[in-house]
């Protein structure tokens, strides 16, 4: 049976993206970082890998695939959003928010969109696409 080994993000600056995601998630490089590739793993060994690969593909405004980062509740979500923004993430003026959104859309320093989810809101991640 197959299993997901790593989520891969295309980035234009691997060291910059790695610095953001390592600080955001508490991850470390699995091996020495290359200019065009790095695999990040949780420092505590628990969780999915995040690989960053050099890409010249433009960022999608409404990406078909994105990361959902889980926060505990609305207060935790707000605090995490502020922490991520202080690390270099940007708020996205998302045009598809439902009235009862349990998510906040951010972009990493490379422009890759991701969501911070309030898991205390109810059914996790069901209200966004």
**DSSP annotation string for the chain:** -----EEEEEES-HHHHHHHHHHHHTEEESSPPPSSEEEEEETTS-S-EEEEEE--SPPPSS-SS-EEEEESSHHHHHHHHHHHHHHT-EE---TT--TT--EEEEE-TT--EEEEEETTSSSTTTT--
> pLDDT of 20-33, one tens digit each?
999 999 999 999 99
> pLDDT of 78-91, one tens digit each?
999 999 999 999 99
The predicted structure's pLDDT at residue 112? 97
> pLDDT of 84-112, one tens digit each?
999 999 999 988 888 889 999 999 999 99
């Amino acid at each position: 049976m197959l299993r997901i080994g790593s989520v891969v993000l295309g980035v234009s600056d691997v060291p910059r993206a790695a610095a953001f995601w390592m600080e955001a998630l508490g991850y470390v490089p699995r091996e020495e970082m290359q200019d065009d590739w790095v695999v990040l793993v949780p420092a505590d060994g628990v969780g999915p890998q995040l690989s960053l690969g050099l890409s010249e593909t433009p960022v999608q405004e409404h990406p078909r695939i994105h990361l959902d980062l889980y926060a505990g509740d609305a207060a935790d979500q707000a605090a995490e959003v502020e922490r991520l923004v202080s690390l270099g993430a940007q708020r996205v003026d998302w045009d598809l928010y439902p009235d009862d959104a349990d998510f906040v859309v951010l972009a990493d320093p490379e422009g890759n969109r991701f969501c911070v989810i309030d898991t205390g809101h109810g059914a996790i991640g069901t209200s966004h696409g």
